[in-house]
Amino acid sequence: MSKAEFYEQVGVAMTCRSYGEYEKMFLLEEDCLKKGKILDVAAGASSFVAEANKRGYNAVAVDPLYNLTVEQMTLHGQKEMKEATEKLAKNISFLSWDSYKSLEEHDKIREESFKLFLNHYKENSIEKRFITGTLPNLPFDDETFSLVLCNHFLFLYQEQFDLEFHLQGIREMIRVTKKGGMIRIYPLVGFKNERYPYLDKLVEAVNDENIVVKITDTTFRFVPAATELLTINKL
């Protein structure tokens, strides 16, 4: 299979990941989770925020989809998951199944995550855990969060968004991160299984005496080349 044939995507898909997948993608441990407030950027219908708060952590999510009603979100999520399953089914042999036993298990995790997300989303008018917004202009004050996570957005859409957008997006995440806090971004590859071509230039642009950027191996395995995450520490 050629790279060009792998997983065609038009527009930005709605991500829907579980707490367990976040742990693997971002190498999450209790020490970094309990430091302070957590932000999940472009969180979509992931259940991380719901599960994190259930575990006693203080987490909120931001995504442009959160202007949808519960009914609209339900229909949108069902449509997105169906389309994703159809695309993945065409590329089973191309993917790494180390983190899932099968496409069926992958879909089951996705469905359970979506259900948990919806249950929490229904209470959003009370809890204010899901906030409408998008990069590169997040609706938060400077230095609000101790941990900022971004999964399956930025570098995944390397053809839809240019280097300037990625730079603005990362600088915006740095802005809302507290001193001593950290940002973690996954994956570093696009839909054609190719690493973001301007990653070195981007790292050089944001690295300074107050920012330390590293590329770290992750334990999550699905898209073959997506074996790394970007970690940004704000000193």
Compare 11 and 24 and report the one with higher pLDDT: 24
**CA 231/CA 221 separation, integer angstroms:** 18
With respect to residue 8, please indicate whether it lies within any of the assigned structural domains: no
% of the chain residues with pLDDT over 70? 95
With respect to residue 228, please indicate whether it lies within any of the assigned structural domains: yes
Confidence of residue 4 (pLDDT cuts 50, 70, 90): very low
For residue range 137-183, list pLDDT tens digits in order. Answer: 999 999 999 999 999 999 999 888 999 999 999 999 999 999 999 99
Confidence of residue 56 (pLDDT cuts 50, 70, 90): very high
With respect to residue 5, please indicate whether it lies within any of the assigned structural domains: no
Q: How much of the chain is in helix, strand and coil states, percent to nearest 5?
A: 40, 20, 40
Residue type, 112: E
Q: What is the domain-level CATH number for residue 102? A: 3.40.50.150
% of the chain residues with pLDDT over 90? 76
Confidence of residue 126 (pLDDT cuts 50, 70, 90): low
With respect to residue 2, please indicate whether it lies within any of the assigned structural domains: no
With respect to residue 19, please indicate whether it lies within any of the assigned structural domains: no
Compare 131 and 6 and report the one with higher pLDDT: 131
What's the confidence (pLDDT) of residue 95? 87
With respect to residue 3, please indicate whether it lies within any of the assigned structural domains: no
Q: Are 151 and 188 in contact (CB under 8 A)?
A: no
What's the confidence (pLDDT) of residue 117? 96
- Judged against a pLDDT cut of 80, whether residue 23 lies above it is answered with yes
What's the confidence (pLDDT) of residue 96? 87
Give the 3-state secondary structure of residue 221. coil
Residue type, 102: S
What's the confidence (pLDDT) of residue 8? 65
Confidence of residue 6 (pLDDT cuts 50, 70, 90): low
For residue range 57-106, list pLDDT tens digits in order. Answer: 999 999 999 999 999 999 999 999 998 888 888 888 888 888 998 999 99
Give the strand order in the sheet containing 228-234. Answer: 130-132, 59-63, 38-41, 145-151, 177-186, 228-234, 211-217
With respect to residue 13, please indicate whether it lies within any of the assigned structural domains: no
Apex CA 114: angle with CA 166 and CA 190, to 5°? 30
Residues spanned by the domain of 94? 27-234
**CA 202/CA 205 separation, integer angstroms:** 5
Confidence of residue 3 (pLDDT cuts 50, 70, 90): very low
For residue range 209-234, list pLDDT tens digits in order. Answer: 899 999 999 999 998 999 999 999 99
The reported pTM is 0.94
Split into its structural domains, the chain has a count of 1
With respect to residue 18, please indicate whether it lies within any of the assigned structural domains: no
